[in-house]
Amino acid sequence: AQSVTQLDSHVSVSEGTPVLLRCNYSSSYSPSLFWYVQHPNKGLQLLLKYTSAATLVKGINGFEAEFKKSETSFHLTKPSAHMSDAAEYFCVVSEGPKLIFGTGTRLQVFP
Amino acid sequence: DAGVIQSPRHEVTEMGQEVTLRCKPISGHDYLFWYRQTMMRGLELLIYFNNNVPIDDSGMPEDRFSAKMPNASFSTLKIQPSEPRDSAVYFCAIRDDVLTFGAGSRLTVL
């Protein structure tokens, strides 16, 4: 079975500093991986997806993630945090048609 | 959210009442999913359909929960009778290449 582990439940950064949200995956084959974002009282929005075409994946709002098979990681990064980035972020792995969600990382951005 | 319309957005009901949540996919899809989100348990997959046929309902917590998809443009999730522990946000989502979520239905059972 596929699974993802988000290593931090909360991350706090200052506006303008880099963001790193960590995710490790477990998969018996080359996985499809995603990051979703959920702003307060909103639905979930796709940030980016990895499907083996390129190890560095660029998403919306300046986010990107790098697939590292040797480390079984798919960490999400952004060079400079903005106040509007404050939200819950979910790392997701595909298992057939189903998507298996991690427990989420809440990102706080301080002025 | 434009690909999936959920109703009601908010519902407050009393324990024992029947609750029906609705989902209307706007765009084309092969799969439709129902998820539940709570603070304690995060996002849980309840059930999913492929071409209107239920494929995996192992996430449905109890017999009080049922889901139907009579056609490609409509699905319901019903809870009868409802209990306070059913309070959560229920999301409907469709998948073609990626998963597209509706805005969710926030259910409060008193």
Q: Looking at the complex, does the CB of residue A3 fall below 8 Å from at least one CB of chain B? A: no
Q: Give me the count of residues in chain B.
A: 110
Task: Supply the DSSP string of A6-68, one letter for each residue.
Answer: ES-SEEEEETTS-EEE-EEEE-SS---EEEEEE-TTS-EEEEEEE-SS-SEEE-GGG-EEEEE
Whether the Cβ atoms of residue B107 and residue B86 lie closer than 8 Å to each other:
yes
Buried-state track B40-55, b at ≥16 Cβ within 10 A, e below 16:
eeebebbbbbeeeeee
pLDDT in tens, A54-103: 889 999 999 999 999 999 999 999 999 999 999 999 999 988 888 889 99
Measure B84 CA to nearest chain A CA, in Å: 20
- Looking at residue A96, what is its pLDDT? 84
Q: Comparing C-alpha atoms, which of A21, A78, A85, A27 is closest to residue A51? A: A27
What does the alpha-carbon distance between residue A48 and residue A59 come to, in Å, rounded to a whole number?
4
Can you read off the two tokens belonging to residue A35? 């990051």
Which residue in chain B is spatially nearest to A36 when comparing CA positions? B99
Measure A42 CA to nearest chain B CA, in Å: 6
> Lowest mean pLDDT: which of A16-20, A95-99, B85-89, B91-95?
A95-99
Closest partner CB to A97 (pick from B43, B50, B91): B50
Q: How far is CA B99 from CA A94, A98, B44, in A?
A: 10, 9, 14
- B1: confidence class by pLDDT, cuts 50, 70, 90: very low
Which residue in chain B is spatially nearest to A88 when comparing CA positions? B42
Can you read off the two tokens belonging to residue B71? 């056609």
pLDDT in tens, B27-36: 768 899 999 9
Q: Comparing C-alpha atoms, which of B15, B28, B42 is closest to residue B94? A: B28
Measure B12 CA to nearest chain A CA, in Å: 16
Mean model confidence pLDDT for chain A: 93
Q: How far is CA A36 from CA A3, A10, A46, in A?
A: 15, 16, 5
Name chain A contacts of B104, Cβ cutoff 8 Å.
Answer: 43
Q: Looking at the complex, does the CB of residue B96 fall below 8 Å from at least one CB of chain A? A: no
> Under an 8 A CB cutoff, do B103 and A97 touch?
no
Q: Looking at the complex, does the CB of residue A9 fall below 8 Å from at least one CB of chain B? A: no
